[in-house]
Amino acid sequence: MIVNKISELIKLDVSRDQYPQNITDESFYGFPSQPILAAEEKLYKKESPSIAYFSMEYGLAPSIYHEFKSVTPLDKRNIITDHEVFSNIKDMDYYHFIPTQKILDLPIYSGGLGVLAGDTLKSAADRNTSLVGLGILWSKGYFKQKFWFRYGGQWPEEISWDPNSYPGLVPLQPKISIPLSGTELHLKLWKYYVYSHDLKNVIPLVLMDVEIEENPEYLRELTHQLYRSVNPWIKIAQRMILGIGGIRALDALGYSIDKYHLNEGHAALAFIEKAAREKPEELKKIFNFTCHTPVEAGHDRFHFPELEGALGKEKTDLVRQFGQDEKQPNTANFTLLAMNTSAHVNGVAAQHGKVMHLQFPHHRDKIQSITNGVHSHTWMSKTINDLLLKYRREIGDFLSDPTLLANVQKLKNITAFREDLWQAHLANKKVLTDFLKFWFFKPETFTLGWARRIAIYKRPGLLFQDINQLVSLAKDKGGLQIVIAGKAHPEDTPASMHMDEILNQINLLNGEMKYLRVCFLENYDTYFAKLLTSSVDVWLNNPLPPFEASGTSGMKAILNGVVQLSTLDGWIVEAVNKGIGKIFGFEASLDNLGKETDWHLKDDSAALYAALGELMSLYNQALRGQRGPGESAWIDMMINGLAAGGYFNTDRMVREYREKIWKDLQI
């Protein structure tokens, strides 16, 4: 058993011998150890102000950003080797998979919220912020999607992965417990370090897990699968693990915390845990809350008797005091609870801030908006990054300061840059078309991408409303290739039906493969998010306004010069005058939020086909060689997108959090 300084600081459980091989005072799974020493020391010290950030999910994307190196080869369970495809060229689906030899994403996220939390930690590390993340180790992940055409579209499989051999994930020696329904629930703690892009700083992420011997079998299920239970007792227990467990984990690790930040209302019980011991009025000054959804169903609600059964009387009384639902008095509303107990509250885009003002008029004064972003070092492809480095003199050091990407505008009239950008994009596109070569995808053909959670308000089927129109567009404009990906939440029956309907539409296009090729990729994850957002010509985003709080996948796409085709919703509202693509369809009025069930499918699909046709024509001009200054609106849009990336990134976002929310901290 080797005990070194760093293992002590990490509070590593050294009873297992595989960890010391990978962890020395110089190296942590192939990365420098020094930043870990510095980060841990700051978190222990009272004098240095620190933030605890709580999130139910984290998408860290190790296959595309700073993959740790282990001395032992990756366990088979932690590798993904292939993805199936559902296409309109059916024969190929049976014989071919997309081959990938990549590390499984740390399977503790479901979609955009988790990816945002991951990108936030990365940018906090880039800015050397003293911050610790708290989350849950989901021992069976979210789910692995298998296609199941005509039976709900997909079948959700459990993910069997191995935390014990996952590179960079280490068990800690302190153990904690929380009271739950009259018994003690024991929690094991893990750590995962999120490195800054230049490897100079890290953020520790502490993950909690109940899959341990001390707990009876029925309790161990509580941290099996993210968002999979509809049972209120299980949901409450999971929120207790995150909120109450999170506070106890910070104490057990000896961290000195000055501010608490709740990413969504899931962790609202963190305040309750502290309020049972400290004055609520004082605590309210140090709690902050980011709300991520204007969709009502996204706000957690629990009946008080159920809550009391799990949480006990004293804490339930506190929840009643701060989080009673305004319309249903026998119900606790965790969004309100978080809002009532926080000094600062924010929505995640300018429009979302306004929607929140309408939804929560009593809290108007403390609701701000801080627009989401993406971590540019994770989401910009190497090809584009290398191209911009070549023009570093004009752009500036965009690696340390992504806002400098705005300077890409200066290159707009330089013919050589425009040509280089086009070639870089074609090189990215070739990676995708090589993956899909058995489905006859070609680098020259116009390619459209749509990938995100299959949720009804995102209108995944809009593109297939009128397949005849789609086919004629493809015939008239030199061919069309479409790539789709996304998981439907397994308990979301309408979304699953949608998923099946899309597969059905693709199936109906079987005879049209000469002009129109459609591939739905199974099991969407961050690896595919990066592949698609960096390689297609146009990124389609068609949520029903105003229900998309922000959306982030389009921000990944602009960092790669991919043109946008979008409804006017979320972050796009702030980019509408930037010339990054085409905006179409229904526009929400903020006087009246409208109904989530009024989908505008007919009008909006017609508007979508019209806008798509225009974009295809512009693309074809560029393809034919019209790419110079003043002669290609297409290249202009690519450049405008890259320049807008200077704003829509998490470096700018974290800076805004520091200035507007964590402001009285000297950090």
Ligand X SMILES: *Cc1c(COP(=O)(O)O)cnc(C)c1O
Q: Residue numbers of the site for ligand X (CB under 6 A)?
A: 111-112, 115, 452-453, 524-526, 529, 551-553, 556
Asked whether 226 and 209 are in contact (CB, 8 A), the reply is no
Q: Minimum distance between the CB of residue 299 and ligand X, rounded to whole angstroms? A: 18
Q: Minimum distance between the CB of residue 449 and ligand X, rounded to whole angstroms? A: 11
Residue 328 CA to its chain's centroid (Å): 32
Q: What are phi and psi of 299, to 5 degrees?
A: -95, 125
Max distance between CA atoms of the chain, in angstroms, equals 72
Q: Minimum distance between the CB of residue 398 and ligand X, rounded to whole angstroms? A: 21
Q: Minimum distance between the CB of residue 526 and ligand X, rounded to whole angstroms? A: 5
Q: Minimum distance between the CB of residue 82 and ligand X, rounded to whole angstroms? A: 18
Q: Minimum distance between the CB of residue 116 and ligand X, rounded to whole angstroms? A: 8
Q: Minimum distance between the CB of residue 53 and ligand X, rounded to whole angstroms? A: 19
For ligand X, the closer of residues 145 and 341 by Cβ is 145
Q: Minimum distance between the CB of residue 485 and ligand X, rounded to whole angstroms? A: 8
Quick check: helix, strand or coil at residue 65?
coil
* CA pseudo-torsion sign 614, 615, 621, 623: negative
Closest to 255 in 3D by CA, of 58, 49, 117, 12 = 49
For ligand X, the closer of residues 115 and 202 by Cβ is 115
What distance in Å separates the CA atoms of residue 182 and residue 311, rounded to the nearest whole number?
9
Residue type, 315: K
Q: Minimum distance between the CB of residue 639 and ligand X, rounded to whole angstroms? A: 22
For ligand X, the closer of residues 117 and 253 by Cβ is 117
For ligand X, the closer of residues 28 and 586 by Cβ is 586
Residue 513 CA neighbour count, 13 Å, CB half: 15
Q: Minimum distance between the CB of residue 650 and ligand X, rounded to whole angstroms? A: 12
For ligand X, the closer of residues 544 and 635 by Cβ is 544
For ligand X, the closer of residues 42 and 228 by Cβ is 228
Angle at 381 (CA atoms; ends 378, 382), nearest 5 degrees = 105
Q: Minimum distance between the CB of residue 119 and ligand X, rounded to whole angstroms? A: 9
The residues near 441 (Cβ < 8 Å, ≥ 6 apart) are 432, 433, 435, 447, 481, 517, 519
For ligand X, the closer of residues 22 and 526 by Cβ is 526
Q: Minimum distance between the CB of residue 365 and ligand X, rounded to whole angstroms? A: 29
For ligand X, the closer of residues 552 and 632 by Cβ is 552
How far is CA 181 from each of CA 56, 144, 154, 375, 546, rounded to the nearest angstrom? 21, 32, 35, 41, 40
Question: Where on the phi/psi map is residue 597: left (φ > 0), alpha (ψ -120 to 50), or beta?
Answer: alpha
Residue type, 57: E
Asked whether 196 and 325 are in contact (CB, 8 A), the reply is no
Q: What are phi and psi of 438, to 5 degrees?
A: -70, -15
For ligand X, the closer of residues 246 and 373 by Cβ is 373
Quick check: helix, strand or coil at residue 171?
strand
Quick check: helix, strand or coil at residue 293?
coil
Residue type, 253: L
For ligand X, the closer of residues 115 and 210 by Cβ is 115
Quick check: helix, strand or coil at residue 631?
coil
The residues near 646 (Cβ < 8 Å, ≥ 6 apart) are 398, 402, 403, 404, 405, 406, 407, 408, 652
Asked whether 124 and 204 are in contact (CB, 8 A), the reply is no
For ligand X, the closer of residues 107 and 171 by Cβ is 107
Quick check: helix, strand or coil at residue 126?
helix
What DSSP letter does each residue of 515-582 carry, written as one string?
A: TEEEEEESS--HHHHHHHHHH-SEEEE---TT--S---HHHHHHTTTPEEEE-S-TTHHHHTTS-SEE
For ligand X, the closer of residues 267 and 529 by Cβ is 529
Torsion angle of the four alpha carbons 69, 71, 73, 74, in this order, in degrees rounded to the nearest 10: -40
Residue type, 170: V
Residue type, 294: P
Q: Minimum distance between the CB of residue 109 and ligand X, rounded to whole angstroms? A: 8
* CA pseudo-torsion sign 64, 397, 406, 615: negative
Q: Minimum distance between the CB of residue 552 and ligand X, rounded to whole angstroms? A: 4
Helix (H) or strand (E) holding 395: helix 392-395
For ligand X, the closer of residues 111 and 402 by Cβ is 111
What distance in Å separates the CA atoms of residue 518 and residue 28, rounded to the nearest whole number?
43
Angle at 107 (CA atoms; ends 302, 169), nearest 5 degrees = 110
For ligand X, the closer of residues 50 and 523 by Cβ is 523
For ligand X, the closer of residues 11 and 458 by Cβ is 458
What distance in Å separates the CA atoms of residue 345 and residue 347, rounded to the nearest whole number?
7
For ligand X, the closer of residues 171 and 373 by Cβ is 373
For ligand X, the closer of residues 477 and 498 by Cβ is 498
Per DSSP, what are the bridge partners of residue 346?
Answer: 290, 368
> Residue 196 is encoded by which pair of tokens?
């800054």
> Residue 556 is encoded by which pair of tokens?
């990944």
Q: Minimum distance between the CB of residue 540 and ligand X, rounded to whole angstroms? A: 10
What distance in Å separates the CA atoms of residue 247 and residue 262, rounded to the nearest whole number?
12
What distance in Å separates the CA atoms of residue 28 and residue 471, rounded to the nearest whole number?
53
Q: Minimum distance between the CB of residue 493 and ligand X, rounded to whole angstroms? A: 20
Q: Minimum distance between the CB of residue 504 and ligand X, rounded to whole angstroms? A: 23
